[in-house]
Chain A
Amino acid sequence: MTTQSAQAPPPERLQEDFDATIAHDQRIEPRDWMPDGYRGTLVRQIAQHAHSEIIGMQPEGEWIGRAPSLRRKAILLAKVQDEAGHGLYLYSAAETLGTDRAELTQRLIEGRQKYSSIFNYPTLTFADVGVIGWLVDGAAICNQVPLCRSSYGPYARAMVRICKEESFHQRQGYELLMTMMRGTDAQREMVQDAVDRWWWPSLMMFGPPDDASPNSARSMAWKIKRHSNDELRRRFVDMTVPQAEKLGVTLPDPELRRNEQSGRYDFGTPDWDELTRVIKGDGPCNAERMRRRRSAHEDGAWVREAATAHAAKQAARARKEAAA
């Protein structure tokens, strides 16, 4: 290794090799040379994804204590636990790019990195748990399945595992809604109300429209990203409409109708000003989500310090024993 790095190839050659790897749809691995912009884009995207998993535990986590059956309680607890696990794999993938979890957590807490704006909306009834599974996890799957073919190896591999688990979560959410729709009038009303509140924010999960998405083109050229925001959003609508019909709920968009020519669905325009406001920090729950994350981190500082101190003492005791 050291002799090789002493005779490192010239930068043009490194760039050519990188470009060829991308062009041939092969994976970039942690030890490979990569342009700074590629590394920076990946760290930003993977960290944002990891933060979203962790912040995303909050809106649903609120309902673990109140889940109305022991089976639903176990399912929800397991789901939120999976999200913590996803955060762990993603922070590990980011660490392969040279940025550790503590640093990324600090950036989140200081508001220097973002998480998905969807988690800044409140969960008002237990039906929200089902709708988050169906629509929010569904939109996440549409976004994430193509990332299983992302050009960066550790990210792509983490996504394979995450997508498998997300698809369980989505089924679980849909099944909860199906059960509620077969229940009482009050339950059906709760489901429709939750769909009304979550539909447009779910469409916004695909990001701003293509002509207003500054980083998209470069990410697509690098094959970090595989489809445009608008294309993914359309796919999501196409897949979701029949599911809504089967469920018996109305999607709150008067412009939504099947286009007989294309066989796809035409739909209205999300309120992009709302998305901008929520991203900038003025969503209904931004402050609350950040406050919870920050206080968990700060309240846990003494625990992490104790674990570090104990490990150091143990190591010192082991050295002393070995020397004796």
Chain B
Amino acid sequence: MSDDHVYMTLAEGHEDDSRWAFGTGFEDPLHGVDTAVPEGVDAAALAADCVALADDALVLAQRLAEWITRAPELEEEVALANIGLDLLGQARLLYSRAGQTDGTGRDEDAYAYFRDPADFRNVRLAELPREDFAFAVTRLLVLSAWRLEHFRRLTAHPDPVLAAVAAKGVKELTYHRQYAAEWVVRLGDGTPESHRRTRTALDRVAPYLGELFTACDVREEVVAVLRQVTEAAGLPMPAYRPLPGSGRDGEHTEHLAPLLAELQSVARAHPEATW
């Protein structure tokens, strides 16, 4: 075995960049899928749907990445990063689809880095600050349960690209929901402190539930999941106290602007640069 091999080959050409790090070997779910917008599909509406779903994923991924180096255990560092990576992957595909269909030809980074907060269409639950681990897994449970049902419906979408992205996402979201549900049960059942913190987290997410079901009416399925998990965790179901407004209409909390300011800072400081 040559000690030096891995190092010596560095300056040689590497055309194949599919495996920059473990976990970034993105399989292309659009392989062999026709990217022309099918007849009868409203291209502008399709693009708007893609942007909204991409914004949800990007903003939540940004919040999950804030846990890196702050998670309670190394296994959680790995799991939260993994979920963040899945969501980033979904966002990238959806932004690309939006760029193909809204007539602008923009690439994924144009959507992520060069739009202002009022142009973002993510649901507000995704942008709320990081808080504690109980809030992290409670928010993740709600958003992944909702997004999973939403994606299941989208697998039958007349646009074959969106349908393919959704089909890939269903597998990922099933794992995200499972991970979050297991932690909510552990925390609800664990100690008086963890129980109290998880109740608080449920109260924090409750006002933002209504907005999700306006965006995609899968209330029945999501409520069934929440009922099952809270029951197993010995926690009360979150009460509905719907908040007016909706991130889908560009109405956001005060937390989105600072999140985007950080996300976009380097890209906007060097608009001419390539990375």
A binds B: yes
Q: Is the pair B78, A138 in contact by a Cβ cutoff of 8 Å?
A: no
A67 to B75, CA, bound (A): 24
Q: Report the minimal beta-carbon distance from B132 to chain A, rounded to whole angstroms.
A: 8
- Leading 3 A-B pairs by shortest Cβ distance: A300-B72, A306-B190, A306-B194
Known: A75-B24, A141-B6, A171-B20. A61 touches B69 (CB 8 A): yes
Contacts A78-B23, A299-B72, A305-B194; is A69 near B7 (CB within 8 Å)? no
Set of chain A residues within 8 Å of B212, measured between Cβ atoms: none
Q: Does B272 contact A (CB under 8 A)?
A: yes
15 further interface pairs, Cβ-Cβ under 8 Å (given A57-B77, A58-B69, A77-B65) = A65-B262, A75-B21, A81-B68, A81-B82, A146-B3, A183-B272, A246-B11, A292-B70, A299-B72, A300-B73, A300-B133, A302-B194, A306-B193, A307-B190, A313-B190
Closest chain A CB from B50 CB (angstroms): 14
B20 adjacent to A168 (CB under 8 Å):
yes
Selected contact of B274 from candidates A64, A142, A183, A292, CB within 8 Å: A183
Taking the complex as formed, is A148 at the interface, i.e. its CB lies under 8 A from any CB of chain B? yes
Query: A167 touches which one: B6, B89, B273 (CB < 8 A)?
Result: B6
Q: B7, A171: Cβ atoms under 8 Å?
A: no
Q: Please, what's the 1-or-0 string for A78-119, where 1 marks a CB less than 8 Å from any CB in chain B?
A: 111110110110010000000001000000000000000000
Query: Per-position contact with A for B221-265: 1 when CB-CB < 8 Å, else 0?
Result: 000000000000000000000000000000000000000001101
Collect the chain A residues with CB atoms within 8 Å of residue B72's CB: 296, 299-301, 303-304
Docked Cα-Cα span, A78 to B82, in Å, equals 8
A287 at the interface (CB under 8 A from B): no
Complex interface: chain A residues within 8 A of B95 (CB): 70
Can you list 22 A-B contacts (CB < 8 A)?
A: A54-B74, A65-B66, A66-B263, A70-B109, A74-B88, A77-B81, A78-B81, A81-B81, A82-B23, A141-B6, A168-B21, A171-B20, A172-B20, A174-B10, A175-B14, A243-B10, A302-B193, A302-B197, A305-B193, A309-B194, A310-B187, A310-B190
Q: Note all chain A residues with C-beta closer than 8 A to B267.
A: 68-69
Does residue A145 face the partner (Cβ distance < 8 Å to B)?
Answer: yes
For B24, B89, B91, B95, the residue with the greatest tally of chain A CB atoms inside 10 Å of its CB is B24
CB-based contact B275/A57 at 8 Å: no
The CA of A142 and the CA of B267, in the complex, are separated in Å by 33
Which A-chain residue is minimally distant from B65 (CB atoms)? A64
Convert B42-76 into 0s and 1s, putting 1 for each residue whose CB lies closer than 8 angstroms to a CB of A. 00000000000000001000100110111111111
Closest Cβ–Cβ distance, residue B79 to chain A (whole Å): 9
What mask results when residues 77 to 112 of chain B are scored 1 for a CB within 8 Å of chain A, else 0?
110011011001101100100000000000011001
Interface string of B163-202 (1 = CB under 8 A from A): 0000000000000000000000111011101100100000
Return chain A residues, CB-CB under 8 Å to B1: 148-149
Q: Determine the chain B residues whose CB is within 8 A of the CB of A87 once the complex forms.
A: 74
Q: Give Cα distance in the complex from A74 to B57, angstroms.
A: 13
What's the least CB distance linking B14 to chain A, in Å? 6
Least distance between B209 CB and chain A CB atoms (Å): 24
Contact partners of A242 in chain B: CB under 8 A: 11
